[in-house]
Amino acid sequence: CTGKVTLLLKNLLVLTVATKQTEGFQRFRRSAQFFNYKVQVLGLDEEWKGGDDKKPAGGGQKVRLLKSALKQYVDKEDLIILFIESYDVLFASGPTELLKKFKQAKSKVVFSAENYIYPDRKLEAKYPQVRDGKRFLGSGGFIGYASNLKKLVEEWKGQDDDSDQLFYTNVFLDPEKRESINISLDQRSRIFQNLNGALVLMRHELTQGVDAKKLSCPIMCNMVNCLLQLQLNYLGNYIPQIWTFETGCTVCDEGLRSLTGFKDEALPMILIGIFIEQPTPFLSQFFLRLRNLRYPKQRIQLFIHNHEQHHLMQVDSFVKEHGKEYLAVKVIGPDDEVENAEARNLGMDLCRKDPGCDYYFSLDAEIVLKNTETLRILIEQNKLVIAPLVSRHEKLWSNFWGALSPDGYYARSEDYVDIVQRRRVGLWNVPYISSVYLVKAKVLRSELDQGDLFHSGKLDTDMAFCHNVRNQGVFMYLTNRHQFGHILSLENYQTTHLHNDLWQIFSNPEDWREKYIHENYTAALKGKLVEMPCPDVYWFPIFTDIACDELVEEMEHYGQWSTGDNTDSRIQGGYENVPTIDIHMNQIGFEREWYKFLLDYIAPITEKLYPGYYTKTQFELAFVVRYKPDEQPSLVPHHDASTFTINIALNRVGTDYEGGGCRFLRYNCSIRAPRKGWTLMHPGRLTHYHEGLPTTKGTRYIAVSFLDP
Ligand SMILES: *[C@@H]1O[C@H](CO)[C@@H](O)[C@H](O)[C@H]1NC(C)=O
Ligand SMILES: *[C@@H]1O[C@H](CO)[C@@H](O)[C@H](O)[C@H]1NC(C)=O
Ligand SMILES: *[C@@H]1O[C@H](CO)[C@@H](O)[C@H](O)[C@H]1NC(C)=O
């Protein structure tokens, strides 16, 4: 029995036509190698004249190539040939199973079958009726004896761009030929699982339970059918739901590329294209993270497209201060009037045309790339095009699509949510990526060498890019094997203030926190680092230096400090016992944001420090006070109109001013060296009668809020 199978296997040959070795073709070949199929490739490096995707007919070139290839096998009576497409096909089981099913079909030639008739619908009536299964012939794959196949293509005299589908259909629909060549259709998809038109698909999950570091296999399959013909080339790791699982197999990808042990100067050269296409919060943080990427700057060139006047200063100061650290920097500013797509073409072209460029890394300004290893991780995946997964915080909005709708727009794939939320972890072949991705320069000089990748009909820039990449048979991968970062929300970004990021506490709360909340606030919340310099006066870190500086600058920018005399409305309203030189949060339109800050950061700590008291952080008075020796140096003893008060020092004693501080009279206790970014928190009325100690030099700023008045 084994002998017989071996004999049979020797008599099986796979023929396929591939004029280019696309990634789809390489996937096909890997799966063939895995199962030990003998494959002969026809037409390699020949020009493809068989039509394109704009013209559904075509494919005649394949018939011509098959016809001429068959000449060498005329005398091989027993030879069984599988003729199959390769760009969108992969093997899902081995030759033994294929031959078994071919024999069971009991005809000399078996064609794949389809539910839809094309290219000529008028032929429907001529098709034999079937009780179940698929009725129509598909030319994407067929298997048969060499001599029968020879007869099948004998009468081909068509042109390379004539339809092979129509040709085979006409042979099949001729009852005499059908019988003499002995052709049947694989109606029940026992051999060919054709997914054309099948939209309910299941992507196979790759790496669960597998050590992600060892993993380099994008395809695993375990299904009973012999051949899987994929609907579109990006469905590389989809398996249709209807399939039953019987045998297992793993088809391995080419290896990873390790960067370990490389000297800095030997690392691949990367051109990073940075795109600031709209007003974007936290841009200085963006540049900070760019600098912190762990990759030698002398192996990085920067191309920056800044479309926004609003960001001129930030880009300028980054380039001035750090441009020299990089191998090269090129900036295209708003006055150059270069549009988004054009700018992206320019950036890519810089890399394409520079023989020293190994990778192009495209990075949009709204991407918060927190993983400093990102460049190395992506390079090591060794893909032509690869994106790291980033998504909006706790949202499903991300930089990839799991599937395409039939008209090329977004479609939610069955596994989309699992991939975004990293319940399934792996490397995914996807139809759309955006905002951040790495492209091998090699592919920019071959498959993707057309200068204009970012236009395609009326499609948006990002969709046009993906459309063009897919059309060239280049796979786009997405990895979620690591955490990389997230995407900022740009929705409510106003540009009317000096430091607009301060207003982002609602739209981008995590980024706001990272920029403005002191790194040791979390420790303070746990009760560590909280000091009590005077009875019931707590002292803990709350703001970063940047928060303090920006708040002060914002106030000085606004500039309308109260005069401190009795005409001040607050005094008439009777809330404040003593007047100060100040600007209130509501004067700069910062009331809602300040309230949110109090609620998110002050309330939790209040409840820790004064157990049993639950604050609503209501306030009527929240303001920044300015003390100057020649303006108002100090404040006479007073009670605050509050249940409790916070008093945040916004600048640094010694450097910015001298003197200052706060004295609680009842306890004869002073805090003389306030720390920048730290807040005092003390009860308001009754016990904590206090005074502001004189500022003797420079200018001192504090932010004061009277809570629960
Ligand atoms: C093919 O040949 C077999 C006998 O060898 C016959 O039973 C079968 O009906 C034929 N099929 C067609 C479609 O002619
Ligand atoms: C946070 O606390 C640690 C440990 O006390 C200290 O070393 C560090 O300087 C603090 N960070 C800042 C920004 O003050
Ligand atoms: C207050 O404290 C200072 C030293 O800290 C001391 O010299 C002074 O006598 C104290 N005053 C009262 C009224 O206790």
- The residue whose CB lies within 8 Å of the most ligand 1 atoms, and thus the one to mutate among 176, 182, 183, 185, is 182
Q: What is the pLDDT of residue 238?
A: 41
- Gap from CA of 182 to ligand 1 centroid (Å): 6
Using DSSP's 3-state secondary structure scheme, residue 471 falls into helix
Q: What is the pLDDT of residue 212?
A: 30
Distances (CA, A) of 478 to 90, 246, 440: 20, 29, 15
Atom of ligand 1 nearest to the CA of 180: 14
Report how far residue 175's alpha carbon sits from residue 183's, in angstroms, rounded to the nearest whole number.
Answer: 10
Q: What is the pLDDT of residue 676?
A: 96
Verify whether ligand 1 is closer than 6 Å to residue 184 (CB atom).
Answer: yes
Listed in sequence order, the residues at least 6 apart from 258 whose beta carbon sits closer than 8 Å to its beta carbon are: 380
User: Which pLDDT band holds residue 682 (cuts at 50, 70, 90)?
Assistant: very high
Using DSSP's 3-state secondary structure scheme, residue 584 falls into strand
Indicate the domain borders of the chain. Answer: 2-191, 261-376, 500-708
- Nearest CA residue ID for atom 7, ligand 2: 520
pLDDT digits (tens, 9 = 90+) for 122-169: 999 999 988 888 899 988 889 999 999 999 999 999 999 899 999 999
The residues facing 486 across adjacent strands are 368, 391
Domains 261-376 and 500-708 share a fold: no
Q: Which residue has the tokens 């390489």?
A: 26
Q: What is the pLDDT of residue 527?
A: 86
Judged against a pLDDT cut of 70, whether residue 528 lies above it is answered with: yes
Judged against a pLDDT cut of 50, whether residue 80 lies above it is answered with: yes
User: Which pLDDT band holds residue 564 (cuts at 50, 70, 90)?
Assistant: low
Q: Which ligand is nearest to the CA of 523?
A: 2
> DSSP letters of 210-267?
S-GGG----EEE--S-SEEE-SSTTGGGEEETTPPP-S-EEEPPPPP---TT--GGGS
Q: Which ligand is nearest to the CA of 547?
A: 2
Verify whether ligand 1 is closer than 6 Å to residue 178 (CB atom).
Answer: yes
Kindly report the CATH class assigned to 500-708.
Answer: mainly beta
pLDDT digits (tens, 9 = 90+) for 436-446: 999 999 999 99
User: Which pLDDT band holds residue 473 (cuts at 50, 70, 90)?
Assistant: confident
- Gap from CA of 656 to ligand 2 centroid (Å): 21
CB of 518 closer than 8 Å to CB of 544: yes
Report how far residue 679's alpha carbon sits from residue 544's, in angstroms, rounded to the nearest whole number.
Answer: 11
pLDDT digits (tens, 9 = 90+) for 194-250: 654 332 222 333 223 333 333 333 333 332 233 443 333 233 444 333 332 222 223
Q: What is the pLDDT of residue 203?
A: 33
pLDDT digits (tens, 9 = 90+) for 258-286: 777 788 888 999 999 999 999 999 999 99
- Gap from CA of 524 to ligand 2 centroid (Å): 11
Q: What amino acid positions are annotated as catalytic residues?
A: 700
Q: What is the pLDDT of residue 641?
A: 81
Q: What is the pLDDT of residue 573?
A: 33
Residue 490 tokens, joined: 């740009």
Report how far residue 304's alpha carbon sits from residue 413's, in angstroms, rounded to the nearest whole number.
Answer: 34
Q: What is the pLDDT of residue 325?
A: 98
Kindly report the CATH class assigned to 2-191.
Answer: alpha beta
Atom of ligand 1 nearest to the CA of 108: 1
Atom of ligand 1 nearest to the CA of 179: 14
User: Which pLDDT band holds residue 709 (cuts at 50, 70, 90)?
Assistant: confident
Q: What is the pLDDT of residue 615?
A: 83
- Gap from CA of 625 to ligand 2 centroid (Å): 27
Q: What is the pLDDT of residue 123?
A: 92
Q: What is the pLDDT of residue 597?
A: 96
- For residue 365, the tally of other CB atoms under 10 A from its CB is 29
> DSSP letters of 312-364?
HHHHHHHHHHHGGGSSEEEEE-GGG---HHHHHHHHHHHHHH-TT--EEEEEE
- Nearest CA residue ID for atom 1, ligand 2: 520
- Gap from CA of 111 to ligand 2 centroid (Å): 72
- Nearest CA residue ID for atom 3, ligand 2: 520
Q: What is the pLDDT of residue 240?
A: 34
Q: What is the pLDDT of residue 629?
A: 92
Choice between 516 and 404, residue whose per-residue pLDDT is larger: 516
User: What is the rounded average pLDDT of the residues 284-298?
Assistant: 97
User: What is the rounded average pLDDT of the residues 352-379?
Assistant: 97
Report the share of the chain in percent with pLDDT over 90: 58
- The residue whose CB lies within 8 Å of the most ligand 2 atoms, and thus the one to mutate among 519, 522, 526, 539, is 519
User: Which pLDDT band holds residue 192 (cuts at 50, 70, 90)?
Assistant: confident
Model pTM?
0.80
Q: What is the pLDDT of residue 485?
A: 97
Choice between 338 and 190, residue whose per-residue pLDDT is larger: 338
User: Of the ranges 197-211, 647-661, 685-699, which is most confident?
Assistant: 647-661
Q: What is the pLDDT of residue 576?
A: 52
User: Which pLDDT band holds residue 92 (cuts at 50, 70, 90)?
Assistant: low
- Gap from CA of 520 to ligand 2 centroid (Å): 6
CATH topology for 261-376 is Spore Coat Polysaccharide Biosynthesis Protein SpsA; Chain A (3.90.550)
Which residues have any ligand 2 atom within 6 Å of their CB? 519-520
Judged against a pLDDT cut of 70, whether residue 522 lies above it is answered with: yes
C-alpha neighbours within 13 Å on the C-beta side of residue 493: 18
What value does the mean pLDDT of the chain take? 85
Q: What is the pLDDT of residue 5?
A: 52
Q: What is the pLDDT of residue 252?
A: 34
Give the amino acid at 139: S
Q: What is the pLDDT of residue 109?
A: 97
pLDDT digits (tens, 9 = 90+) for 394-421: 899 999 998 887 778 888 877 788 889 9
R_g over Cα of the chain: 35
Report how far residue 192's alpha carbon sits from residue 186's, in angstroms, rounded to the nearest whole number.
Answer: 7
